Amino acid sequence: MSLSAVPGSVRVRAPGKINLFLEVGDVQPDGYHDVASVYQAVSLVEQVTATPADAFSVRVVDESGAAVPGVPTDDRNLALRAARLVAREVGYLGGVHLDIRKAVPVAGGMGGGSADAAAALVACDALWGAGLTSPALHELAARLGADVPFSLLGGSAVGTGRGDRLSPALARARFDWVIVTDGGGLSTPAVYAELDRLRGGGRPDIEPAPRPPAVDPVILQALRSGSPDVLAGALRNDLQDAACALRPDLADLLDQGAAAGAVAGLVSGSGPTVAFLAAGDESARRLQQTLSAAGRRARHVYGPVTGAKVVTR
């Protein structure tokens, strides 16, 4: 199939995510870990604008328009790889320029790069009039990374395997969160390696790897209940101890959030972003103000929200 880009540009938004539940299995022969996870897409979104071009290029800025350090703009960029993947899949012979406006923390455990890739898939499909089906986009997303399919889907979902085998999870209500970020990131492979080291070291407070990992039904019941108090008791992240071992200050932050009124707190994914669950909108606003006054970079978000979607053509 030979396609031509439509005039103008296409802008797509895709959400960051919080891992409400993450059970990590043993490392596999290919170096990856099987996981069982429950994701929730939240209102911190990445924005990707795709414009026709002769070649493939990308520019990355933050919400203020400033350059974002630490994000590659060559073929290591996941959104650029997504664009090339769509082009190969549909036989498009031109290029595209991607403008990425980031709100999700870089290397923060909230899937910002995956959201960029999901947005790029949807944007290029729309720009080139390819008409790819949802299953086809999901298959391309899975080739790019475990979190990319969820960024397409959004909402709340159970992920198994490497996290890319998804099934929707019913969440009856809005949940309010305060996320706290800092200027430094954590390497996801380093956090998984630290978890393996802790498990191998015989620490009594570190549970052995489950075989196979599975989502506790309690977390799904908590989502259906719509109660922050019920959800608080079901949150789990097997990577949290490893992230705190690499960044001991995260444990102090978790204690600070609890003292400031959070219903619960956990490291999001591989960290270092920490997500605090609040009792509701007003409680989240007070928590955000308290943590900000203490010098933390705190932001009030909510979920679940929809996945990657076109907002302008």
Catalytic residue IDs:
17, 147
Whether residue 14 contacts residue 308, with contact meaning beta carbons closer than 8 Å, is answered with yes
Q: In angstroms, rounded to a whole number, what is the distance separating the alpha carbons of residues 66 and 13?
A: 19
Whether residue 55 contacts residue 87, with contact meaning beta carbons closer than 8 Å, is answered with no
- Would you call 131 exposed, middle or buried from its count of C-beta atoms within 10 A (0-12, 13-18, 19+)? exposed
Q: Which two tokens stand for residue 252?
A: 């102090």
Whether residue 310 contacts residue 126, with contact meaning beta carbons closer than 8 Å, is answered with yes
